[in-house]
Amino acid sequence: MTDLHRLRPDQLKLHAALPWDVLDAYGMLLLSKGHIVTSQEQLDELLDRGMYVDAMAFHAIESVKVFRQTVYDPLRLMEAIQARLAWLLEAKPRDGSFTTEVQTLVAQVRNFTERSPDLAIAAMQLLEQRNYPIAHSFHVAVLAELLACRAGWDAARREALSCAALTMNVAMIDLQLSLRNQRDALTAEQRACIDDHPAAAARILMQCGVADNEWLRAVLEHHETLDGAGYPRHIRNPGEAGLLLRACDVFSAKISPRAYRKPVNASEATRFMFVKLGQDKADPFPAILVKEVGIYPPGTLVRLASDETAIVFKRGVTAKTPLVKVLLNAKGLPSIESVQRDTTDAAFAVSSVVSLDKSLVMIDFEQIWCGKRHVITA
């Protein structure tokens, strides 16, 4: 049964059209979308009975309210983008609105990425991903925007790229959720679905009215490689957008946890990008990704030459010299004050990476990146 959200009195208004179908506790239709309740007595009676709406549809509507707010709250914006994207990729509207909806989300991704790039990178490895397929697509879109800006792409080209990032896995959302917790080897059916999902996604997007050839090509080619070993068509001449998305896709997937393995720390993931994926010098994007996120990306736990343990909170002047905030002093005691270190100073240079899963450090994400309090135990 679809997850339902019970409406509260403050979420309904008299004389206003309902933005969703309203159901009872058993999922039976009470009022259709667009219905206008004109009587307080009727509204009270319905509320007493229990009025429910599809949870995903409810959060998608609520996310629009966040987009319209004037106060910038990066975490709420990030959640709102993902909520709207989840609804859109499930609903797949074919009324002509799909392209515009995705472009609206892309504008919000760009706003978020421009204003909170370091928070965005840190969130990929530190914040819980309740809906992994959607979070992953969002993360790839953020990385793609960062890389495309570094590569000097114009706004129109970046928009097509970000649209592709958000929608490239539309054909395998359910499978991604299953694989998130699967420990067994892939079945033949799952392997076939994975191999076909770029082509299947392009077909779905065309059915939803997408007519942008750059967007469609990037989706179709985001798993192709220059040596012809990619899929689904095993071509040797994928476009730059497909190659860029592949680099972002691989990096984001590596630093995200699975049930059957712990996430690779971001520093190891950047090394993999540079050494393994960067072997083919004709593909510039693995190297561009490493230059953009750094050897020690935001969210990485490090030990300094001073014996302090710190969290990378901002990218630095070079890939190897991030800005950090001390969490444990040289004696291993929690740092009461938020002490910032510049690792260009040899006395505070990064000496090693500390594994998050082996550390007892308390990482206060919202205080470090937003000035709010939200503690994560690493």
In the chain, where the domains are located: 4-57, 76-293, 301-377
What's the pLDDT band for 70 if we cut at 50, 70, 90? low
- List, in order, residues 6 or more apart from 49 with CB less than 8 Å away: 24
Min mean pLDDT across 174-188, 282-296, 306-320 is at 174-188
Please give the pLDDT value at position 272.
84
For residue 263, give the 3-state DSSP assignment. coil
Superfamily of segment(s) 76-293: Hypothetical protein af1432 (1.10.3210.10)
Share of the chain above pLDDT 90, in %: 58
Q: What is the mean pLDDT of residues 170-194?
A: 89
What's the pLDDT band for 373 if we cut at 50, 70, 90? very low
Min mean pLDDT across 222-231, 295-304, 341-350, 354-363 is at 354-363
Determine the distance from the C-alpha atom of residue 323 to the mean position of all C-alpha atoms in its chain, rounded to a whole number: 23
Please give the pLDDT value at position 42.
77
Q: What is the mean pLDDT of residues 312-319?
A: 93
- List, in order, residues 6 or more apart from 271 with CB less than 8 Å away: 295
Mean pLDDT of all residues belonging to the chain: 87
For residue 20, give the 3-state DSSP assignment. coil
Please give the pLDDT value at position 278.
64
Q: What is the mean pLDDT of residues 62-88?
A: 81
What's the pLDDT band for 23 if we cut at 50, 70, 90? confident
CA atoms within 13 A on the CB side of 368: 30
Which residue's structure tokens are 């509260």?
A: 8
Region for residue 332 given its phi and psi (left: phi exceeds 0; alpha: psi -120 to 50; beta: otherwise): left
Please give the pLDDT value at position 38.
76
Instruction: Reply yes or no on whether the pLDDT at 68 is more than 70.
Output: no
What's the pLDDT band for 201 if we cut at 50, 70, 90? very high
Instruction: Reply yes or no on whether the pLDDT at 196 is more than 90.
Output: yes
What's the pLDDT band for 24 if we cut at 50, 70, 90? confident
Name the pTM for this structure.
0.81
Instruction: Reply yes or no on whether the pLDDT at 347 is more than 90.
Output: yes
- Maximum distance among all alpha carbons in the chain? 72
At 50, the amino acid letter reads G
Please give the pLDDT value at position 17.
75
Which residue's structure tokens are 């490239």?
A: 168
Please give the pLDDT value at position 10.
66
Kindly report, residue by residue over 132-151, the tens digit of the pLDDT: 999 999 999 999 999 999 99
Q: What is the mean pLDDT of residues 227-249?
A: 96
Please give the pLDDT value at position 31.
79
Please give the pLDDT value at position 269.
87
For residue 31, what are the β-bridge partners? 22
Residue 91 or 209, more confident: 209
Please give the pLDDT value at position 62.
62
Please give the pLDDT value at position 60.
67
Please give the pLDDT value at position 135.
94
Q: What is the mean pLDDT of residues 283-312?
A: 94
Please give the pLDDT value at position 372.
57
Q: What is the mean pLDDT of residues 197-213?
A: 98
How far the first Cα of the chain sits from its last, in Å, is 35
Look at domain 4-57 and name its CATH class: alpha beta
Task: Please provide residue 257's backbone torsions phi and psi, each rounded to the nearest 5 degrees.
Answer: -75, 155
Instruction: Reply yes or no on whether the pLDDT at 67 is more than 70.
Output: no
